[in-house]
Structure 1
Amino acid sequence: MDYFLSELMWILFLSMLTFFTSNAACPSLCKCLSNGFVTCIGDTITDTPTQLPIHTYKLNLFKTNMHVIREQSLKKMKLMTRFSLVYSHLHTIHPQAFHFVPQLKSLMLTRNDLSTLHARVFSPLVALEELYLDRNQLEAITADMFEELVALEYLDLSYNKLSSVPSEAFSKLVNLEILDIGNNYLTTLSPTTFRSLIKLNQLSIHKNQLKKLEPGMFDGLVNLQYLQIHSNKIATIPPEVFWPLKKLKNLTLSSNKLQYIPERSFYNMPKLFKLTIYNNPLLSLPDELMGHMPEMPEFYLYDTNLITVPGNLFSNMSGLQTLNLHFNDRLSDLPPDLFCCLPELQKLSLKSNNLQQLHPKHFSRLNKLEILLLNNNTLKNLPKNIFQELEQLTMLDLHGNQLKNLPEDIFKSNTVVTVILSANPWDCTCSIKALVKWIKHNKHAVLESDDVMCHSPQYQILRTLDSLHDEELNNCNMTTVTPSCTRTQETTQESSWTTPTATEAASSPRPNVKPDEISSTYDISPPFHDIIVVEEGHDFVHHNYHSGWVYVWFLPSKAVLAGFLMFSHILLVAAGVFLILANMYAMHLLCKRANEIKEQFARI
């Protein structure tokens, strides 16, 4: 028992000694942790600190003035395995700088001013696993720069100024798993550049100036899962260039210059989880493009020049949950069976295209669809049963189209929670009665209801649909008449009919005229329950319905009278303007006289 107590005390003593020793040796600008991590910050640091704890394993130098790593800078760091020097404007590394630290596993030189490196500067680092050279000013790398880094797993060269990469630059990095050379100025890559990287998992060559992909450039990358090629200037893709990538999960080809894509380009990639080809000037897509992709949950295809797409484009994406086929301002037609094989689809965005019509069966198999965005197209009408099978639909956006009406009971089979109908030219005649009724019974579901307005007929303009009264829409079979009526067999007078007075209209019987015997030009609005005959001489302009009365407004049609009224109006306006100017001039004279009197009193 005494033996164990003595051992415990000895271990505790050594721990305390190490703790106090490490704190005593820690420089003033550094923070030293007991686990061997040291961080030093300050622009007064010009070289690696000399007074560091002997058990320093990781040294971080941040925002220093250490512009050069000298030959002796790392001489005393024989236990250090991780070294980083960032945000320090480092511009030079001595060719022998790393000879004293062959045990290094991680070297981070991010965000400095390195423009050139000695060809063999990293050769002593045979145990190095991570090398970060990103966000510097590197313009070139040599073919043998990484030749001795056989243990390297992560290499980051992004955000530099590389215009080319030697074809053998990565040939010895057989253990490399992640390579990032994105955000450079690369215009071309050799077909053999990546051929020996059999363990590579992620490859990023995005945001360069690549104009094409070379045939066979991905051969050998049998373990690649993430490939980023977006934001280049790629105009052509070799056939079957992606076929060796059978384990690929993520492929980004968006924001390039692709107009055409070869047939079956995306075959033999059954594990593909993400594919982007949007923001390309695509003119057409081949009938056979997508292979079996059951694991892909979402797909984006927007900002293209497509007019239509193949009917089987999404047929192999049975696991798709979100499909964004939007912002294609030339896309005017969709094949009827385009969405036939998407049983798991929950969101479909077709907004901001140029769709003019939809097939009645477009959405018939989307039983799990919850969100449907059709806004900002040019739809003029919708088939009656187009939403019939969408029992799970909760959000429908139809705003910004050319819809004048919707079929009766179009939402009957849906549990729509939210619908947007604004910015459409709704025709508020009798035919809109069913839609108005639905809106009034589902006010909670209609967003922006104040913007769901009538655009026709003229007397209803700017009225909201939910403000239309039932009595205005109850008489949808009323006939129409012309200003001068035709004679009928029941007419006993030889002259044309004249408009009866209010007393005569109340006492005289209704003329026995059949509706189909009257020629029609002007619509009689719903509030009129009798036939109205207007003699030639006045034009019907507008009517309002209020408290059971119909108020009819007429405009004289005689040119002389109309001209006299217009002249009188102009004369009154001119007289008003003259009086205002005269008043202003009188006020000016009055002020001037008041100032003169004030000056006379001032002299006294």
Structure 2
Amino acid sequence: MSKPVLISILLLFLCLEWSSSYCPYQCQCFSPVQVLCAERLSSLPRNISHEARELILMTSSVSYLFSNTLEDSPQLTKLIFLNNGIRSIHMHSFNHLTQLEELEISGNPWLEHLYLGTFSNQHNLTKLILNYNRFKTVLPGMFASLRKLETLEMKGNIISRLPLLLFSNLNHLRVLDLSLNKLEDVTQETFLGLGQLEILKLKHNLLKNLSSDLFNAIPELKEFHLEGNKISELSENVFMNLTNLKVLNLRGNFLKTFTGHIFGISTLNLQELKLKGNNLSDFFPLGNFTSLTNLDLSSNHLSTLHKDVFQNMTNLDILDLSDNQIFILPETIFNDLFSLRVLNLQANNLSVIEPKLFEDQALIEQLNLSFNRLKTLPEGLMDTFSVHYMLRLHGNPWKCDCGLWYLHDWVLRNEQSVEMIDRTLCDSPAFLNRRSLDSVEKEQLVCHMGKENAVDVRNCLLQVSGDAVIIKCKVETCLPITVKVELQDEQGNVKEHVVRNEWTHSAKCSNMSLE
């Protein structure tokens, strides 16, 4: 046996010996400082090593935390109770755990309240997580001793109200998550003392409005998440004091309109604005939003947009307009949006795309035009795109005639750039219905002209020169022309030759000869 293998076996033996000697019964110790106990325990582990700093107890049947819990392990800095059956916690349970920096008590469906003084000795605590319990309220003064706290989460409870000044001593708090509760109202007094708060999450509550002075106490806020509430209107200047705000999430509310007046005249650093799933029928130009990189207006009731609505959003990177009722887009609406990488126009009522609509989007990487009413695309529409990109075109009633030559040629050249190309189907004419665009031959993309548009054969001349036959026709309009010549040999075999014109933008077709 080689020396390295012998050393490895010896080290493994020592680790197993250490684990069996110092790890509590029915627990696992992945290192001297970490202890994990799960499932089979009905009481807290004993004989925890004095080297241990982290204890995680999960999916056990522990129901009560009595006075002086874990009094033999005052050295713990991290304590997590996750998805247990805890029903009650004694107010002195954590008295000896003065070194705790992180404490989590989450996922206890029968834990309805905490006693005042439960955290009175946790002066070093920086992170407290109390998610998915059954708290209906929190007693005033519950967090008074936690002056070093930086993160507080109480999401997934049934809290309907918060005492005034509850957070007044949390001067270092950076993150507060009160999502998934039953809160109907918050005021300026609710957040007094949180002068350093940077992230506030109030998602999926029952809030209907925001008072104009609400944010006076939290001027350093950088992220504000209000998704899934019942807000139907925002008062003028409501966000005026939030000059450091970078993320504003208002998804899933009942807003009918949105204007820049809610921000006052402040210069904003806003980078993400999420308004998906409201009742917006109007969206007005916001003003000087040059820092905005992500704008989500999807799943609203927008049918038209002003041509200057995105003016000054010169750093916009992602724009989502999907699932609206937009039937037309002004040709200049995306002008100067040179940084745009992702544009989602899925599930609208677009039947026409202007030829220069994407003229400034050379850096586009994802363009979604699926599930609209498009029958064709103008020639040159995608010619400005200069980087590798993905395009979605399926779910449109494509008219597979001569008007689709540009798109057909482009698809064949860029097949790898079209997602779900097998679902990009012809709707008409009938003989091509349900055929994928890439499976159609170009010769099948023909236009059948009425008598008023047909070429007058009286204006055509037939010339024979040696073994060449030349047909010359004069036309008055730039309509596509297809000439089919059938040649039959002595044995009766017929061979067909097809000549088709493809007009360019620069072509002058009046009285032009086509050979």
Q: TM-score range by the shorter chain?
A: 0.7 to 0.9
- How far, CA to CA, are the matches of 1:359 and 1:425 in structure 2? 17
Candidates 306, 310, 323, aligned match of 1:310: 306
Aligned to 1:108: 104
Are residues 1:361 and 2:335 paired? no
Structure 1 residue 231, shift from structure 2 partner = 1.4
Counterpart of 1:221 in structure 2: which amino acid? I
Larger radius of gyration: 1
Candidates 424, 428, 440, aligned match of 1:455: 428
- Identify, as 1 or 2, the structure richer in helix: 1
Candidates 180, 185, 191, aligned match of 2:182: 185
Aligned to 1:424: 398
Contact 1:237 1:262 in 2 (8 A): no
Candidates 270, 289, 308, aligned match of 1:272: 270
Aligned to 1:167: 164
Structure 1 residue 378, shift from structure 2 partner = 2.3
TM-score, reference length from structure 2: 0.75
Report the secondary structure of 1:218's partner residue: helix
Change (3 A) 1:41 1:316: same
TM-score, reference length from structure 1: 0.65
Are residues 1:87 and 2:83 paired? yes
Listed one character per residue, the Cα deviations across residues 531-576 of structure 1 (whole Å, up to 9, x for unaligned) are xxxxxxxxxxxxxxx9469xxxxxxxxxxxxxxxxxxxxxxxxxxx
Listed one character per residue, the Cα deviations across residues 73-121 of structure 1 (whole Å, up to 9, x for unaligned) are 2332332232222222111111222222233222211112310111232
Structure 1 residue 210, shift from structure 2 partner = 1.3
Are residues 1:144 and 2:141 paired? yes
Candidates 311, 322, 333, aligned match of 2:328: 333
Listed one character per residue, the Cα deviations across residues 8-55 of structure 1 (whole Å, up to 9, x for unaligned) are xxxxxxxxx9x9899645432233466433333343432352x23234
Structure 1 residue 324, shift from structure 2 partner = 2.0
- How far, CA to CA, are the matches of 1:473 and 1:233 in structure 2? 54
Are residues 1:232 and 2:229 paired? yes
Counterpart of 1:40 in structure 2: which amino acid? C
Change (3 A) 1:29 1:207: same
- For 1:417-566, list aligned pairs within 5 A: 423-426=397-400, 428=401, 431-432=402-403, 434=405, 438=409, 442=413, 448=421, 452-453=425-426, 455-456=428-429, 547=494
Contact 1:472 1:526 in 2 (8 A): no
- How far, CA to CA, are the matches of 1:398 and 1:52 in structure 2? 62
Change (3 A) 1:128 1:435: closer
Aligned to 1:67: 63
Stretches of structure 1 that go unaligned for 5 or more consecutive residues are 1-16, 402-422, 482-515, 517-524, 530-545, 550-604
Listed one character per residue, the Cα deviations across residues 336-369 of structure 1 (whole Å, up to 9, x for unaligned) are 3210120122332222111233334322222333
Structure 1 residue 263, shift from structure 2 partner = 3.2
Contact 1:475 1:527 in 2 (8 A): no
Report the secondary structure of 1:219's partner residue: helix
- For 1:13-28, list aligned pairs within 5 A: 24-28=21-25
Counterpart of 1:359 in structure 2: which amino acid? E
Change (3 A) 1:363 1:437: closer
Aligned to 2:150: 153
Aligned to 1:492: none
Higher relative contact order by CA 8 Å / sep ≥ 6: 1 or 2? 2
Query: When the two structures are aligned, how many residues end up with a matched partner?
Result: 446
- Identify, as 1 or 2, the structure richer in strand: 2
Report the secondary structure of 2:215's partner residue: coil
Report the secondary structure of 2:190's partner residue: coil
Change (3 A) 1:266 1:380: farther
- How far, CA to CA, are the matches of 1:348 and 1:449 in structure 2? 22
Report the secondary structure of 1:84's partner residue: strand
- How far, CA to CA, are the matches of 1:222 and 1:290 in structure 2? 22
Counterpart of 1:339 in structure 2: which amino acid? F
